[in-house]
Amino acid sequence: MDTKWRVLLFIVLAAVFFGVETFAKVVNVPTYNIGYILGILSFMAGIVIGARRR
């Protein structure tokens, strides 16, 4: 898989995690902020993969 697609995948995944976490907060579901943590980790993984040069 091309590096650009991996970066895009991780950023979209981070957006999904943030969106699900925000929706869960609105409907008062206890999530213990796991969506925010996974979103940040996914975004950081996208940055690291994008920064690597081959």
Q: Give the domain range for residue 28.
A: 3-51
3-state SS, one letter per residue, for the chain? CCHHHHHHHHHHHHHHHHHHHHHHHHCCCCCCCHHHHHHHHHHHHHHHHHHCCC
Look at residue 54 in the predicted model and tell me its pLDDT.
Answer: 62
Across the 54 residues of the chain, what is the mean pLDDT of every consecutive 10-residue run? 90 97 96 96 96 78
State the CB neighbour count (10 A cutoff) for residue 12: 12
Supply the pLDDT for residue 3. Answer: 87
Please tell me the predicted confidence (pLDDT) of residue 52: 87
Give the chain's domain count.
1
Listed residue (52, 53, 49) closest to 7, CA to CA: 49
